A and B are shown apart, each in its own frame.
Chain A
Amino acid sequence: MSQTRNPFTQFQTDATQVTADDDRRSFLRSSMRGYMNTRSATQGRFIDYESARIAAGEVKWEAIENLDVYLVQFADNLEARGTKVHWCDNSEQARETILGILKDHDAKTIIKSKCMTTEEIHLNDLLSQEGYEVVESDLGEFIVQLREEAPYHFVFPAMHLKKEEINRLFQEKLKSVSTSDPEALTMIAREVLREKYIQADVGISGANFGIAETGMISITENEGNARLTTALPKVHISLMGIEKVIPRIEDLALLLPMLATAGTGQHLTCYNSQLGGPRQPGETDGPDEMHVVLLDNHRTRLLADPEQRDALRCIRCGACLNVCPIFKNVGGHTYGTTYQGPIGSVITPHLRGLKNWKHLSHSSSLCGACTETCPVKIDLHHHLLRNRRNAAERGEGGLFERMLMKGFVFVMRRPWVYRAVGWTGKIAHFLSKPIHGTRLDPFYRWKKTRDLDDPAKQSFKQYWSSRK
């Protein structure tokens, strides 16, 4: 979606469009129902899933509360085995760092495995502009890259597309034969990608966890593409947000199943790799050079907020999107952010500014399904409320809203005014009958799609007085 449009206008316009598309919405809902069923079954295999959530939250909490210690330990251990670690304050620095590495190696072709942090710094756009050939190797990412659009969901990037649409896309872009068989479509992509792994000079990945104790990155995936991306090319670059660090390798025993269960409903994903550096003497595979690019990009701003820093515990499983009624009805692109859904609505105002992104915190019914499902127990929907408070305190709501609130307080603190408003409301309702249902009707935004009962003839208070 266009970056130049005002994010709020863009959100409203796209939300209107998607909510009117019953077919797309029911497709999204049925995909998510499949996820819910599998996930519930997998959760049932834990002896006590609730305790596992608490424990997982505590591991990440320990890491976040001691980030200064664990990050340094992580970097030291990586460097001890020859990995180059780069510390980047913002996306500009990370982009320059990665570009610098590519130039040093005179790279031309780059293979990537799924990494939302590269989306955050808009790496693909930069590399394409600079003339590099960049290929996404995760099937979903490969599909959205061919469509020249952003991932729809940060775990399921192409979840919005039906197999028939993918077939048409492949026919058009890859000149493939027509098929709607998912397996055959996968094979088509695989043939294209195999060639690219061999050609690629550099592989770029993300990292799901950075293990401080051992100096390793851990990558979770289902297709084996991340293994090839990180092992075949001579140079491997991993871009990782600083909040991904965890204290100990044994923590993976909990976090890997939690990520898989919450993310896809699997007990474990098909592949989990721990990479501890470039190829060491005597080893037969692995890259000649490995780089880990650590990205802050305003994460420390969130860390400085004692109320909301638990949002840094996020392991990007996407479970909060999968259960979110807003996400299911407006889809991923509507958010206009790298991270969609509840977690995106919570952290985007911190990462990209409250002024332009506060509407995401208001576009929620605060139902709490996200908080209920989060495997690391982030207080998601209450953070939306706190973002709303922060916006109101900075006067972002505007003069009209502030006056409305003052009026609300005035009325609600004075029972006689409250009663007076009750009966003047009834009179106003009667007098305004000619404009009911028109755009002049103050309840137009409600009544456009919903009926509204007439005010009760007798208030409860009047009834109470009459029965005494």
Chain B
Amino acid sequence: MVNILERLGHEVDYPQGQTCCGQPAFNSGYFNEAREVADHFLTTFSECDVIGVPSGSCTAMVRKFYPELYRETDRLDAVQQLTTRVFEFSELLVDKLGVTDVGARLTGTATYHDGCHGLRELGIKDAPRRLLENVEGLSLIEMDESESCCGFGGSFAVKFPQISTAMTQVKLGSASQTKAEYLISGDPSCLMQIQGYFSREKSPIKCLHLAEVLDCQ
């Protein structure tokens, strides 16, 4: 992500104090604890003009759920101001910077998995596809039910491993049908789940993050 942004002529900073957006606590129902972690996020990123996030899930946490967390607090204004500066990576490139061709090259066939948070909380559907269409040598094949959840869901994946895995099994079926060499997604957590299962099942499909693909020269 840094390489691509710098190649496009932007200055990238990495605030050293950053940790986590707090979603693990939030999704487990511990809203107060999530807010304490969110406080740290707000402080760490308060000076940044634009915040790029290589994950639809973390972006959704900040943009969609922080305002809910801070609903009845005096930091709400600051939070709402911050949410206008947070972008998921493909949104940042396509919607904010107006770039759809980053000059990447990767030979092969790929299918794209829509992460649920990016898709349904943020409405990201076209941006990653437009970027991938412009990757030289890459052809994109849509899989059946690309919008179906991969089965990760945070603590769900360990609390209900049998259901979580069954969902990824369905994803493997859909992805395999396309005969694609790569499965690409904008969410590291989906990729951890999908790659973890695909690799266990000895699937030849390679899982890549959108940024990894766009960085291929």
Contact = CB atoms under 8 A, between A and B. Distances in A.
Q: Decide if A and B are genuine partners.
A: yes
A371 B120 contact: yes
A369 B26 CA distance: 20
Interface string B54-84: 0000000000000000000000000000000
Contacts of B167: 325-326, 329, 365
Interface stretch (B85-93, B144-152, B175-183): B144-152
Interface size class of B (residues with CB under 8 A): 35 or more
Interface string A373-397: 0000000000001011111110001
Contacts of B116: 365-369
Contact of B163 (A326, A392, A405, A446): A326
B134 to A, nearest CB: 27
Contact of A329 (B153, B163, B193): B163
B40 A329 contact: no
Given A365-B149, A408-B25, A446 B161 contact: yes
Interface centre among B26, B31, B40, B149 (most CB of A within 10 A): B149
Contact of B170 (A29, A412, A450, A452): A29
Nearest to B36: A409
A266 interface: no
Given A364-B153, A409-B37, A415-B18, A330 B196 contact: no
A29 B167 CA distance: 11
B166 interface: yes
Contact of B162 (A19, A369, A397): A19
A363 interface: yes
B16 A450 contact: no
B48 interface: no
Contact of A449 (B121, B155, B165): B165
Given A365-B149, A367-B149, A446 B36 contact: no
B28 interface: yes
Contacts of A326: 163, 167
Contacts of A415: 16-19
A189 B156 CA distance: 42
A50 to B, nearest CB: 13
B199 interface: yes
Q: Is the contact region of chain B dominated by helix, strand, or loop, or is it mixed?
A: helix
B163 A19 contact: yes
Given A15-B163, A325-B149, A365-B149, A450 B197 contact: yes
Interface string A1-40: 0000000000010011001100001000100000000000
Given A362-B155, A461-B16, A405 B161 contact: no
Contact of B28 (A19, A367, A405): A405
Nearest to B161: A445
A406 interface: yes
Interface residues of A, number: 52
A45 interface: no
A367 B120 contact: yes
Nearest to A401: B28
B16 to A, nearest CB: 7
Contacts of A328: 170
B162 A15 contact: yes
Contacts of A446: 157-158, 161, 196
A454 to B, nearest CB: 12
Contacts of B27: 366, 385, 388
Interface in B181-204: 192-193, 195-197, 199-200
Contacts of A387: 29
B153 A367 contact: yes
A406 B30 CA distance: 10
Contacts of A325: 148-149, 151, 167, 170
B31 A413 contact: no
Interface of B: 14, 16-20, 22, 24-31, 33, 36-37, 39-40, 116, 120-121, 147-149, 151-168, 170, 192-193, 195-197, 199-200
15 contacts: A19-B163, A328-B170, A329-B163, A329-B166, A329-B170, A392-B29, A392-B30, A413-B19, A413-B36, A446-B157, A449-B165, A450-B168, A451-B195, A451-B199, A453-B192
A-B complex: 4 closest residue pairs judged by Cβ atoms: A365-B153, A388-B29, A450-B196, A392-B29
